Each structure stands twice: as structure tokens, then as C-alpha cells.
């Protein structure tokens, strides 16, 4: 046993000083449980020992960051939402704004979400009218996103026609065609502290809120509202909910699709 053993709070503080990532802003019980599970699996005797191990071992630190930022995603996740975007919301934005549409997929994981948006704009023959940026805190996920090569398990919800039209099979994997791959820019961005991408016509931040405490969700919503143009849209995950959208100048338009209104 470590003498004066660190508790989770001490681990979080040391981790923040080392990496700049505030574990404190994620839901505590869930995060602590996941970290304890990993420590047990790796036979780590306590938080201080585990911290020292991570601090001295960059690959282990990278693995740990990857482990705590849950990357679950897939193409056309929540088909009803994407159908609504394609049939109503994207055409409306294309009609209402003359300039290129700026679309930000915040917490994009390995890219399935921004690539789905890109495919939809292409089917609307409007790929040249959008600029799509995918951001995430997880470097490894972003590297995979840039590669654009996907295991079929991430493609179960895409129609056979779109699969055929937008992907090339390479062995067991599917590579997104260059036109789609090149239409999305990926960069690292920490939602907790980096400046938002301003002037967006749409922000998709889906299945990210659920990992954070209510006050952090509020902080994200304030920032997203500031980053959206009036008339622009915020799209959240199907298991997520905004209780007072008017506090952020948002109005619910469809299930998880909110529009920024003024006045």
C-alpha cells in the first residue's frame, strides 16, 4: 500500500497539471469507475502509482487518454435525424445563406459523423457549398478519421447504394472516396478550453454531453450558442436533452435539432 495514498481527487489534480485535461468536469462516478477498472486490469496498486506510471510512459498515457474518451460512433448513427437533416434542414440552410456553409462536428471521434454529413451534401449536389470541420480531443481517433478507412461494423446503417457510391473496398475494410475524404478537415480541439469555431451554420455535438456534468453541459451550450450564426442549427445526440433551450437562444425544431433564434 502507498503511504498517504492518493484518492481520486489527487489523481485528477495531478493529471490536470500534467495534461491540461480536467477530469473533474466529466461525470465523476462514471469516470472514476472506468479508471478503477483499468487500474485493476493493469494491476496498478493505487492512484499515485498509476499516475507516476502514466507520467513516465507516453504510450501508456496515450492509451489512457484513448480509453477515457469513449469513441463509439458509426456512419448514419440515428437515421431519423440524418433523414431530417437531408430533407429539411440542409436545403433550408442552402436556401437561406449565400455563402459556404460552415459545419462543425464537435467530438467527431474517428470521423463517421462529419463524413456522413459530407455524403448527404453530395447527394444534394451541394458538396461545393459546405466547409466541414471535425474536431476531437483524441489524437488517435483523429488520425483514423484522416485515413478514412473503416471496418464494416461502422457501416451497418448505410444503404447499399451509398456504400457502393462513396466507398472503395480494400480487403476487409472500406475506404471513403477521396472526394468525401478531402471535404472534411480534422483538427484537435478540447471543448473544455479551446476557442470554439465561430460563425457556424451548424454544430453537431452528439453523444458527447452525456459524459459531462450539468454545469459543463451548460458551459458548452453557452459557447455553441455564441459560435452559431442566427438561423443556424445545433444537433445533439438522441439520448441527450436541453432543458431550457431559450437560455441559449435556441428553439427546438425537431427531436434533437435546435435552431438559434434572435430576439
Ligand X SMILES: C[S@@+](CC[C@H](N)C(=O)[O-])C[C@H]1O[C@@H](n2cnc3c(N)ncnc32)[C@H](O)[C@@H]1O
Closer CB to ligand X, residue 141 or residue 234?
Answer: 141
Site string for ligand X, 175-194 (x = CB under 6 A): --------------xxxx--
- Applying CB under 6 A, which of residues 44, 48, 73, 225 lies at the interface with ligand X? 73
The region of 4-12, 109-117, 225-233, 251-259 touching ligand X under the rule CB under 6 A is 109-117
Q: What is the dihedral of CA 222, 84, 166, 151, to 10 degrees?
A: 70
Task: Spell out the long-range contacts of 90-93 with Cβ–Cβ below 8 A and sequence spacing 24 or more.
Answer: 90/120, 90/121, 90/124, 90/126, 91/124, 93/201, 93/202, 93/231, 93/232, 93/233
Shortest Å, Cβ 41 to ligand X:
20
- Applying CB under 6 A, which of residues 48, 207, 225, 259 lies at the interface with ligand X? 207
Q: What is the dihedral of CA 93, 80, 82, 166, to 10 degrees?
A: -140
How far apart, in whole angstroms, are the C-alpha atoms of residue 128 and residue 121?
9
The region of 42-50, 52-60, 205-213, 242-250 touching ligand X under the rule CB under 6 A is 205-213
Closer CB to ligand X, residue 25 or residue 229?
Answer: 25
Binders of ligand X among 117-156, rule CB under 6 A?
Answer: 136-138, 141
- Applying CB under 6 A, which of residues 72, 96, 164, 185 lies at the interface with ligand X? 72
Binders of ligand X among 215-244, rule CB under 6 A?
Answer: 237
Site string for ligand X, 29-68 (x = CB under 6 A): ----------------------------------------
- Applying CB under 6 A, which of residues 12, 77, 223, 229 lies at the interface with ligand X? 77
Burial bucket for residue 231 (CB in 10 Å: 0-12, 13-18, 19+): middle
- Chain residues binding ligand X by CB under 6 A are 69-73, 77, 107-109, 112-113, 136-138, 141, 189-192, 206-208, 237
Amino acid at each position: 500500500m502507498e503511504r498517504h495514498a492518493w484518492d481520486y481527487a489527487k489523481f485528477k489534480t495531478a493529471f490536470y497539471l500534467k495534461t491540461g485535461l480536467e477530469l473533474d468536469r466529466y461525470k465523476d462516478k462514471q469516470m472514476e469507475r472506468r479508471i478503477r477498472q483499468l487500474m485493476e486490469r493493469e494491476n496498478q496498486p493505487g492512484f499515485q502509482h498509476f499516475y507516476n506510471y502514466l507520467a513516465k510512459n507516453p504510450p501508456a498515457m496515450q492509451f489512457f487518454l484513448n480509453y477515457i474518451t469513449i469513441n463509439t460512433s458509426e456512419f448514419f448513427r440515428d437515421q431519423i435525424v440524418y433523414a431530417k437533416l437531408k430533407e429539411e434542414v440542409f436545403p433550408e440552410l442552402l436556401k437561406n445563406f449565400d455563402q459556404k456553409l460552415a459545419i462543425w462536428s464537435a467530438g467527431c471521434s474517428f470521423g463517421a459523423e462529419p463524413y456522413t454529413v459530407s455524403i448527404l451534401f453530395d447527394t444534394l449536389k451541394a458538396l461545393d457549398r459546405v466547409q466541414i470541420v471535425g474536431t476531437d480531443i483524441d489524437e488517435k481517433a483523429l488520425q483514423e478519421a484522416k485515413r478514412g478507412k473503416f471496418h464494416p461494423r461502422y457501416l451497418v446503417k448505410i444503404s447499399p447504394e451509398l456504400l457502393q457510391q462513396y466507398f472503395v473496398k480494400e480487403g476487409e475494410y472500406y475506404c471513403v472516396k477521396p472526394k468525401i475524404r478531402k471535404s472534411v478537415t480534422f483538427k484537435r480541439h478540447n471543448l473544455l478550453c479551446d476557442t470554439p469555431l465561430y460563425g457556424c451554420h451548424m454544430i453537431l455535438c452528439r453523444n458527447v454531453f452525456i459524459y459531462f456534468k450539468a454545469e459543463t453541459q451548460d458551459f458548452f451550450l453557452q459557447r455553441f450558442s455564441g459560435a452559431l450564426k442566427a438561423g443556424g442549427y445545433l444537433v445533439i445526440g438522441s439520448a441527450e436533452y436541453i432543458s431550457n433551450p431559450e437560455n441559449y437562444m435556441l428553439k427546438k425544431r425537431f427531436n434533437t435539432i435546435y435552431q438559434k433564434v434572435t430576439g
